[in-house]
Amino acid sequence: MTAYSETPPSAKPATNRETYPLPGVAAGTQRSVTALRFGTPGARPKAYFQAGLHADELPGMVVLRELAKQLETEAKQGRILGEIIVVPVANPIGLAQRSFGYMQGRYDTGAASNFNRDYPDLAPGVADRIKGKIGDDADANVATIRTAMAEELAAMTPVSEVDVLRHTLMQLAHDADIVLDLHADNEAQIHLYTGTALWPEAQDLAAEIDARAVLLADCSGGNPFDEACSAPWWTLADRFPDASIPPACLAATVELRSNNSVSAADIRDDTAALMRFLIRRGLVEGQVGAVPRLLCDATPLTGMQQVIAPVAGIVVYNAELGDTVRAGDVIATITDPLGDSVDVAAHTDGCLFARHDQPYAWPGKIIGKIAGTTALAERKGRLLTD
């Protein structure tokens, strides 16, 4: 991973702005990833924040712009205690994909792949590298594993633009203590996806951002970015049960409401919440009050009902975002303008935290998500909405 710094080394800036080029896909074209670094390289704790990996999910990119401005001020005052990397635009490829007047930033149109899937699984290669090198000292094991992760990434030779993007982001984030990947849903309340092993450690994050659902899984399927950073730790702990291996990377996908929700008030509140989290976690000097009250219980991702349309038609929702629903409650009615209407019901108890913003359905389309407490029979394999 080659970075080009835009600030002369002698300037000692509060922020170091680095540019990582991606391979050009045609003559005269080349994109790059820009990372903003605050604090001392190699200092602990280290936090990595990115947004826009699904480039049509807009709030996080603006929130990280505002967060970076505040971190710049803190850095000038010498108040950054660890190392913080902020990537406000994690996916310049998707940001350039537009069709018929709309951005299409969720999938790579060249390879038809989801930009937040298929990240490198570091666990197998790292396991080979650390065999015989770890023991009872958790801190020493963490350092050994992070070194092995860096070596594993350095040995990879990605070729395509998308694979180089994935590799670049992993190199920036793999050794962080905290990794937050900011996303949004079609129409949703704030919610959080994280590893089962990271709960209740992540309660302060969920409380600060006012999460209305927290979905837990060891493996959600597809190897999304946050799990590529965090899951190797519990995978390696299972592989080496006699060694002391903690879940040393608190990684989460933070869903900041709806794709197009970019109000000034929400941006201000979300930025303030992330800054309080950084202060609370010892990355920025300062004082914050008590952790806010947690507004929801964590539930298994296998308990999240994806409300699926059985027919085509226009969707009229009977339940609002945030409603507590019971199994059997009608969530929506789908009407065929030339035919019948069909009710779609919940089959679990829980909170309806997400809906689809386009009220037209076809068979198999996901039109809602309910955070339930009980694992559902159909929730196996790939648990995320692709």
Q: Break the chain into its structural domains and give their ranges.
A: 4-296, 299-372
Please give the helix or strand (H or E) that residue 211 lies within, else none. none
Between CA 267 and CA 63 the distance in angstroms is 5
Task: Mean pLDDT check: name the lowest of 11-15, 118-122, 133-137, 229-233.
Answer: 11-15
> Which residues, in sequence order, are bridge partners of residue 51?
182
Q: How far apart are CA 1 and CA 226, in angstroms?
A: 20
pLDDT digits (tens, 9 = 90+) for 25-68: 888 889 999 999 999 999 999 999 999 999 999 999 999 999 99
Please answer whether residues 191 and 213 qualify as being in contact, where contact means their C-beta atoms are separated by less than 8 angstroms: yes
Q: How far is CA 259 from CA 276, 308, 319, 332, in A?
A: 24, 20, 20, 21
How many Cβ atoms are within 10 Å of 218's Cβ, its own excluded?
14
The pLDDT value recorded for residue 25 is 87
Question: Is residue 208 over pLDDT 60?
Answer: yes
Cβ neighbours around 106 below 10 Å, total: 18
Average confidence score pLDDT of the chain = 95
Residue 92: pLDDT over 60:
yes
CATH 1.10.3720.10 fits 299-372, yes or no: no
**What stretches of 207-268 adopt beta strand conformation (E)?**
213-217, 250-258
The model's confidence at residue 13, banded by pLDDT at 50, 70 and 90, is low
**pLDDT of res. 35:** 98
pTM, rounded to two decimals: 0.96
Mean pLDDT of 198-221: 98
Q: Which residues, in sequence order, are CB contacts of 223 under 8 Å at separation 6+? A: 117, 118, 119, 120, 121, 231
The closest of 172, 156, 149, 153 to 235, measured between CA atoms, is 149
Distance between CA atoms of residues 182 and 65, nearest Å? 12
Percent over 90 (pLDDT), the chain: 91
For position 338, what pLDDT does the model report? 96
CB-based contacts of 49, cutoff 8 Å, min separation 6:
64, 67, 84, 85, 86, 87, 179, 180, 182, 274
* CA–CA dist 201, 246 (Å, integer): 12
Length of the chain: 386
CATH class assigned to 4-296: alpha beta
Is residue 11 pLDDT above 50, yes or no?
Answer: no
pLDDT per position as a tens digit, 99-124: 898 889 999 988 889 999 999 999 99
Report the alpha-carbon angle 205-322-260, nearest 5.
75
Tell me which of 248 and 1 has the higher pLDDT.
248
Is residue 345 within 8 A of residue 329, CB to CB? The reply is: yes
Top mean-pLDDT range of 19-28, 109-118, 230-239: 230-239
Residue-level pLDDT at 5: 61
Residue 8 has pLDDT above 60, yes or no: no
292 residue type, one letter: P
Identical fold between 4-296 and 299-372: no
Q: How confident is the model at residue 245 (pLDDT cuts 50, 70, 90)?
A: very high
The residues that bridge with 307 in the sheet, in sequence order, are 368
